[in-house]
Structure 1
């Protein structure tokens, strides 16, 4: 089965550039695709200084959905947005004032990889961070989720030394040009050794293999000359399950449990509640013989979409019984099922599921600009646009429009786009 490689190098084109990220692409592009991927054959997608975060998301989503091994190489710089103070990967048009709208939210990367297995998914990063983002990463780490094995570094801004270079990624590319790709942990150590004398002593070195959720901070000190790099400690925290995927997303900071206000002119939300099998569904064995993520991923790659959804539905039902439909784990499995519907080509089912997830999160008091809420509405919008049955699209459109009134998201004109499409659908039905 061929592998997939995504090469993403991005940094602002103006005075805010901290690193010449795209300068590493010619070196990476000189590496044979099978070596970049670690598979016999590979498809390579290259993004050099892209302009739009949605365009990057589309390519990332397609890469994450592809069967076979996936390796994502990212070189660039991190900033925090001014509203939520969350890390973003700067793109070509990003400025400090426009991070929220012109940069790629880092949690989008985590979300797109969450259905992957860390056994066949690698994320290799070389990032520079401005002062605010550096403080964030140094204190909290860089959450990439349990779906990928992550290796690389985050470096502070170069200061008055001018524009930095992605030295770690160039070392990785140079090593791979030999025609041999060692195991990622070995490749990582070799790259660190090559840059050890280049003043990388303050860097945060990311090294988390698959199968365990990273603790915070998700880093360890950089390697020193003549001294092997220490490995990040990643045992499950007390109370966590041994399977990273079974944990669900990290706990969210919730507002008091009250529904968000609804516009008096908006129609009632008609999105269904998350579906779950009846409580008579037999429980899953504990512990599962395998990580459920691996089982679901294998079923999807084998075209057994019904089997994948059935397993996710049973896990969702168990989570609903244990913590209610608004619990983090139940919502996690509801989101998994929404993605599984997308993989199965069921845009209607996926749109309905994402509408339901967004409704539950809002009813639980989550903020309209919370990343998980915005992501649910964005995905519902994306799937709605892929519905070919015009009657179904007309049916779901008003609920989506109501959600967009409350959750405008990061795309300017999203609500107007829905309203325009609804008018066209209604006109075609007359």
Structure 2
């Protein structure tokens, strides 16, 4: 099966630049695509100093939708936005005051990769952080999701008015150009050994699953350790583009460890509008069992009602164990919203995403929280896919009210809802 490779190198132009990220691309481009990917054949997409976060999002989304292994090479610098203080990959036009609008939010990596099969995705990163971000990173995770392997390093500022080089990524490219493709963990360790030999110390080192916290700083050797929300855009035809990928199949729905095992065997009641459930796969017998694989299998077999019924049972169990507004319960609500989308029930998907947003807001999450914005963006997108004009018109005012509270990062989202509502009124 062919692989996909995304080469992304980005850093601000001008005095805000910490690393000459694009300098690594010619070195990586000299490596055969199959070696970059570790597959027999591979497609390579290169992004050098992109200007717009939406352009990066489009390329990442396309890469994430491809079948087969995906390897993403990222070189650049991290900065925090001033409003939410979340890490972003700085792009060519990024300044400290415009991070929120001109940089690529790191959580978008998690969002776009969350539906890929576990074990099929690898990120190799060579990142530099400014002083503020470097301090923020202490004890925090640069989260890419539990199904994504992340290897690389994050370096502190190189010094005043000094532009660093992506030496870790160049070391990776040098190893790959030697003619072999070692396992990624071995490749990572070989690259670390090369830059340690050059006297580079004090970096945060990432190695393993993309969800663990940093263990600390490397001092002469590696210290091993272990993404919300994309904004919506407007499609050329006037529809609201989703923030998250919309694949034809769910792939692996794994996002968090499963909640404790369920008691009983009967399915919980589905929300209004859900399809009637058929025979439901039995609940896992142990807390370590993972229902996501069973749900994925059901969807791939066209048993959408079975998949939703099983997810509903886990949703109820999580709510009983942790509370209805808990992350554990909301995870399963989000899974059900995706399942409705896969089943072609845009109305139910829209209502469920709206319920997720309402629950997060009721729990005290701010309107500009990535998870809140993502839920509303997805509700907005699914609303635009409702074929029945009457149903869409009936649901529109509630979405408009939610949009008024959560406008999102893209200007014009609320106006888009109002325009669509006016069009729907003329169809009555």
Determine helix, strand or coil for the equivalent of 2:160.
helix
Residue 246 of structure 1 is matched in structure 2 by 257
Question: 1:276 Cα shift?
Answer: 11
Of the structure 1 ranges 52-61 and 125-134, higher mean CA displacement relative to structure 2 is found in 52-61
Give deviations 1:30-59, integer Å, cap 9, x for gaps.
333332222333333332222332333333
Question: 1:290 Cα shift?
Answer: 5.3
Question: 1:156 Cα shift?
Answer: 1.1
Mapping of 1:13-412 within 5 angstroms? 13-160=13-160, 162-209=162-209, 213-214=211-212, 216=213, 218-222=214-218, 224=220, 229-232=222-225, 245-246=256-257, 284-287=283-286, 291-296=290-295, 308-343=307-342, 346-387=345-386, 390-412=389-411
- Native 8 Å contact 2:153 2:168 kept in 1: yes
Count of aligned positions: 389
Give deviations 1:193-214, integer Å, cap 9, x for gaps.
121133420110011247xx51
Distance verdict in 2 for CA 1:4–1:232, change over 3 Å: same
Partners of 1:426 and 1:77 in 2: CA distance? 48
Partners of 2:3 and 2:307 in 1: CA distance? 22
Question: 1:390 Cα shift?
Answer: 4.6
Unpaired runs of at least 5, structure 1: 234-242, 249-271
Unpaired runs of at least 5, structure 2: 227-253, 260-270
Partners of 1:302 and 1:66 in 2: CA distance? 20
- Native 8 Å contact 2:311 2:336 kept in 1: yes
Determine helix, strand or coil for the equivalent of 1:147.
strand
CA RMSD of aligned residues (A): 3.2
Determine helix, strand or coil for the equivalent of 1:362.
helix
- Native 8 Å contact 1:207 1:219 kept in 2: no
Of the structure 1 ranges 285-294 and 36-45, higher mean CA displacement relative to structure 2 is found in 285-294
Distance verdict in 2 for CA 1:17–1:356, change over 3 Å: same
Give deviations 1:231-271, integer Å, cap 9, x for gaps.
336xxxxxxxxx973258xxxxxxxxxxxxxxxxxxxxxxx
Question: 1:190 Cα shift?
Answer: 0.8
Determine helix, strand or coil for the equivalent of 1:245.
coil
What TM-score do the two structures reach when normalised by structure 1?
A: 0.79
- Native 8 Å contact 2:400 2:414 kept in 1: yes
Determine helix, strand or coil for the equivalent of 1:67.
coil
Determine helix, strand or coil for the equivalent of 1:157.
coil
- Native 8 Å contact 1:74 1:126 kept in 2: yes
Partners of 2:276 and 2:125 in 1: CA distance? 40
- Native 8 Å contact 1:50 1:91 kept in 2: yes
Determine helix, strand or coil for the equivalent of 1:71.
strand
Partners of 1:142 and 1:153 in 2: CA distance? 11
Determine helix, strand or coil for the equivalent of 2:192.
helix
Distance verdict in 2 for CA 1:162–1:145, change over 3 Å: same
Question: 1:392 Cα shift?
Answer: 4.7
What TM-score do the two structures reach when normalised by structure 2?
A: 0.79
